[in-house]
Amino acid sequence: MIALGWTKSKRTPPGVITCKGDGPIRILCAPPCSAISAHDRLTQQVRCFEAGLDFLPIAPLQSIPLRDATGFLSDARLSPLLDRLASKGQLTISLKLPMDKRRPVTGGRHWLIARKAHRDLCNEYEDILLGIANATDLPQSPVRRTAEAVQCDILVDRSTAHTLKARLMADLPARQELSQKDVLITGLWPAFGFADLPVMGTIAA
Amino acid sequence: MTVELQLATAEQTLRSNDDRLVDLVDGLLSHGVVIRGELWLTVADVELVFLGVDLLLATPDKIKPTGAPA
């Protein structure tokens, strides 16, 4: 079985997902055949979340066997973090970077100038995104950059997520700094951006 | 002034082939609880080399939890 996360919820998981363990914190698991890729694991996590289960999600890129996840049940940080994220999910806001219109690099100096211009542009977009996130007065994750966009997550109560989405849809078009920009709001997602809990294993060699 | 504004649920995002939504999903995959490995190479109880690895290359039997990082 592949672990998807830890939960205190007593709800029955959807589909092929099961809860393992008999303590206050249990492990959400999926059969290996339904959690082969990171995308599969993310899909199963979203199904659990949409079924009303609150859980601390394992990063989908990691395929963690049940026996390894069981070893971390005694980690004292799990319970308070689960309580903090109870009934919450994240909205992910993405601001698309403009197409890179740089001409082919013709030399070292040109390369450095082009890189600086791109970095300045990313910083400008990050500031705009932070402005949107700050205006919600809700907890937010650090901004991350992907190949095509800058993104950040906003932690929101399940019950107020619809209201926040509606407010963003109404407010954002009026923001001057977003003129000609491409904004994407997705969610609710499990609170991936707030499950910041690196857990360590030691390998004796 | 025009703002291109798009709203999608998690389910719609996962099913979409739209480049922007695929890129957004890619950005999410590495977030959540991350199990990191510590590899210590020791000789005669002297710790010589430390490696921090996010991709664990060991059999599960050799991994034991050590709690919070120092």
Q: Where are the alpha helices (DSSP H) in B1-70?
A: 10-15, 19-28
pLDDT of residue A5: 94
Place of tokens 């991936």: A192
Q: Are A164 and A143 in contact (CB under 8 A)?
A: no
pLDDT of residue A121: 87
If DSSP codes are grouped into helix, strand and coil, which group holds residue A196?
coil
Residues contacting residue A161 through CB under 8 Å, at least 6 positions apart: A89, A91, A187, A188
Which of A50, A92, A173 lies at the smallest CB-CB distance from B5? A173
Residues contacting residue A12 through CB under 8 Å, at least 6 positions apart: none
**Relative orientation angle of helices A38-50 and B19-28, to the nearest 10 degrees:** 90
Nearest Cα to A44, choosing from B55, B34, B27, B10?
A: B10
Question: In Å, how far from its chain's centre is CA B23?
Answer: 16
pLDDT of residue B69: 46
- Does the pLDDT value for residue A192 go beyond 90? yes
pTM: 0.82
Which of B20, B30, B40 lies at the smallest CB-CB distance from A59? B30
If DSSP codes are grouped into helix, strand and coil, which group holds residue A147?
coil
Which of A58, A92, A197 lies at the smallest CB-CB distance from B28? A92
The mean pLDDT value for A113-140 works out to 90
Buried b (16+ CB within 10 A) or exposed e, A117-152: eeeeeeeebbebbeebbeebebbbbebbebebbbbb
pLDDT of residue A166: 92
| Separation between Cα atoms, residue A160 and residue A145, nearest integer Å | 27
**Lowest mean pLDDT segment, chosen from A82-86, A99-103, A163-167:** A99-103
- Does the pLDDT value for residue B44 go beyond 60? yes
Q: If you measure CA to CA, which chain A residue comes closest to B64? A: A201
| Separation between Cα atoms, residue A161 and residue A189, nearest integer Å | 11
Place of tokens 């002297």: B46
ipTM surpassing 0.85: no
Interface size, chain A vs chain B, as Cβ–Cβ contacts under 8 Å: 193
Taking the Cβ of residue A92 and every Cβ of chain B, the question of whether any pair is shorter than 8 Å is answered with: yes
Place of tokens 């290996």: A32
Question: In Å, how far from its chain's centre is CA A63?
Answer: 17
- Does the pLDDT value for residue A178 go beyond 70? yes
